[in-house]
Structure 1
């Protein structure tokens, strides 16, 4: 049950509660908040949002039949009845507002202010989700932790995450993603983070943010509503972040791989075990607490995972975890589907990294594939929203795959033509390189493949921006 009443919700959203049955229950606490009618619980709140394909208002009678305590709507019962043929007589308590999506944000902001919980806000161009998993996994060794689920990191996902926090939670790890200026300001206003983590400043969403300096300005809006006694953790390996000595009166803490003198949480002496992860040494020298010198096992492959472990150690040190607790948490980390997820099948091994892509994450994924001790196949698709330098970024990805000796390089999409040409110009004669105009064409070729494109026993990387639909490629190869 949430410590959040119907009256408090109405005050937060600036609306008046309507009780069609006449029973005034404004002091009733609600159980949960959802924008998907299928997820509405007994005593919960349903926020009806007008989607591009489906208008959530048509499900208001359904959620009341499921036991909802409140519907937040921007349409009156008569409007909904006229538009969707829904009987208005089935409505329970509702709150009429101008904009239900804004009401969701207002509700989350008000609820956050009531919470006695530490919030760790995570942003950056690359690695937000994997860093979130590391931090949440490590903190769970000592605290009751809630974390962002899936890709709920935008102006809908963040408020829904905040509204999932319950009295038993001691820490919430909240991923915060943006694509334009002003968005992070609004996310920070809702989340009011106690600890801000910035993973890096790379090339992403350049159509709106133009360059890395623009990305840094936009991401830095996370500090707009940070707690007065809050802490900041930055990647000391990133050139844009490493030079920041003070941020709005706060001295940042740095994490990394030992290449910045101010790094307080360092993962060093890394020994790669290929796709089985790596072993390393964790060193900390934070101002508070005893220094840590702790051997760790990072179960996920790739050097960038060591950086994620360092970020988790930095946050954990600020929240009082010791070396053995940090090591135990790191050793248990698992990543969600679509993000450097290694899948071992009888015929071949898949590296599922198909959730999204930008130049830095594409390079890291190719580096990871190069660790395999089998024949290596890279299925690489377009990286979207890269602005005027998109051609160059795709050329660099193709050249990088060729330079690392990837034996089969399959390039998919309009922009990936430039990846194909660069790979062809830099690869060995024995390298097989092909281009497909779209994902469907690739799938048809894979369906007729007798082992030429994806040889049995090979390791296959699947990487592209989300809108390329590479989840279909993954499912095809898995089946």
Structure 2
């Protein structure tokens, strides 16, 4: 981060400064990372309280701590007293963001946030020195940390924003102040907390009021929920003269894809059409959903007045991050598709589509998808039916809720199927992979253990 003084940090966070005013060059929520010239923010979590580590942070070299509680401040050190450290962290990030006059893109949506963020960053990097969210650090701690990592040399930023309750995008977008806001789609992730897809749509649209004057919203026009915004922009909070760039597969959209040609596990080819002209792109990751991610990135490139060759180069340079449609070659021509980072019904069906396009024996190893509330049983059952309809040869369901995947496959007539209650039970089953194997489940199912097991073959 660029240096700021503690007085400025107190002003940004709305806190009371106790102690000396010095310069800080690092803001952290991890007391172990607190070092000379750092500010330690004592946030509270479900299983921890940063206030328990304040004295350790000072010992490690922190110049200042941001706290909800008063402490005896060591000589030469400082404390900023606030009512709520999590809110103050966001306020501090908002203040730090105001020091930068660069294009900032925010990305949210039910599915594809991280991949879309990475492709957008790849496109913008053809013109800018881009700072982007690491991994999927997209919550009320990860977003501020991303903002604090901005340096003078950065000329653009791409920030991922996640949520599982209403009001969360609102506070994140207030800190990010995006010039361009991208929503990939509205699925069913976190429907347990938000009640309905309409509730999810409204929660995602909390970003709109914070898009800068003359900024842009980039929206998936093929999404049956996002298209409801048309004609009701003000109802969903889009004002401030912000414009909408729609993308999809219909030529009525600003950015649209045609000639979509799956290339097996090598990826997918398409033509992306823009107001500046058209270009053919080969995306190195399979799945029609990747075309949508590429279109969103192309839209951002067009907004930033980039030439088509640079946009194409940025899209084609994309490589997936860990456990997201990663391909591993095994023995005897077998292949593992590791898509185990996370799962929801939309992304799981997309992954099954990729598996279905492969030749030879096709095996899907699927696990529980969480935060679906009262819809959980039916949505897991539907996944089992879908796998059968797509003529997957072998299905293995793992997890308590995934018994419904097994039952759905059974009802739809899939013969080769098995069910295991736990990952451990599966790992002890003697399974040997053949053909193409897909693994996918919610992150907390720990399917990474299955990936490591299969990669040994």
Instruction: Give the TM interval when normalised to the shorter protein.
Output: over 0.9
What residue is the counterpart of 1:278 in the other structure? 268
Kept after mapping to 1: 8 A contact 2:215/2:243: no
Tell me the TM-score normalised to structure 1 length.
Answer: 0.88
Q: Is this contact kept in 1: 2:257–2:295, CA < 8 A?
A: yes
CA contact (8 A) 2:271 2:278 kept: yes
Structure 1 CA distance, aligned partners of 2:307 and 2:352? 34
Q: CA offset at residue 93 of structure 1?
A: 2.4
More off after superposition, 413-422 vs 97-106: 97-106
Q: 1:218 aligns with which of 191, 196, 203?
A: 203
Equivalent of residue 468 in structure 1, options 445, 448, 451: 445
Distance in 1 between residues matched to 2:15 and 2:228, nearest whole Å: 46
Aligned length: 448
With normalisation by structure 2, the TM-score equals 0.92
Match of 1:386 among 372, 380, 386: 372
Q: State whether residues 281 and 296 of structure 1, in contact with CA within 8 Å, keep that contact through their aligned partners in structure 2.
A: yes
Q: 1:173-211 CA deviation, whole Å, 9 max, x = no partner?
A: 111111111111111111111111111111121112111
Question: C-alpha distance in 2, partners of 1:177/1:192?
Answer: 15
Which of 39, 58, 68 lines up with 1:45 in the alignment? 39
Map of 1:253-292 to 2, 5 A cutoff? 253-257=245-249, 259=250, 261=252, 263-285=253-275, 291-292=276-277
Corresponding residue number in structure 2 for 1:301 = 286
1:302-347 Cα offsets, whole Å, 9 max, x none, are 1111111111001110001111101111111012112222233446
Residues 260 and 295 of structure 1, relative CA distance in 2, 3 Å threshold: closer
How many angstroms apart in 1 are the aligned matches of 2:67 and 2:330?
48
Separation of aligned partners in 2, 1:464 and 1:196 = 28
1:78-157 matches, within 5 Å, as 92-157=77-142
CA, structure 1 residues 41+230, in 2 after alignment: closer, same or farther (shift >3 Å)? farther
Contact 1:158 1:174 in 2 (8 A): yes
Task: Give the 3 Å change call, closer, same or farther, for CA 336–318 of structure 1 in structure 2.
Answer: same
Query: d(CA) in 1 for partners of 2:340 and 2:414?
Result: 26
C-alpha separation in 2, matches of 1:423 and 1:337: 29
Q: Is the 8 A contact 1:48 1:55 kept in 2?
A: yes
Counterpart-to-counterpart distance in 2, 1:408 and 1:4: 58
Q: Root-mean-square deviation (CA), in Å?
A: 2.0
Distance (Å, rounded) in 1 between the aligned partners of 2:52 and 2:120: 40
Query: Given the alignment of the two structures, is residue 175 of structure 1 paired with residue 165 of structure 2, yes or no?
Result: no
- 2:382 equivalent in structure 1: 396
Deviates more, 1:370-379 or 1:187-196: 370-379
Counterpart CA distance in 1 for 2:370 and 2:44 is 27
2:5–2:21 CA contact under 8 A, matched in 1: no
What 5-or-longer segments of structure 1 have no aligned partner? 79-87, 286-290
Q: Which residue of 1 aligns with 2:11?
A: 11
2:355 aligns with one of 369, 376, 387: 369
1:36 paired with 2:20, answer: no
1:449-468 aligned within 5 A: 449=431, 451=432, 454-455=433-434, 458-468=435-445
Range moving further from structure 2, 165-174 or 435-444: 435-444
Whether contact under 8 Å (2:44, 2:86) holds in the other structure is no
d(CA) in 2 for partners of 1:341, 1:147: 21
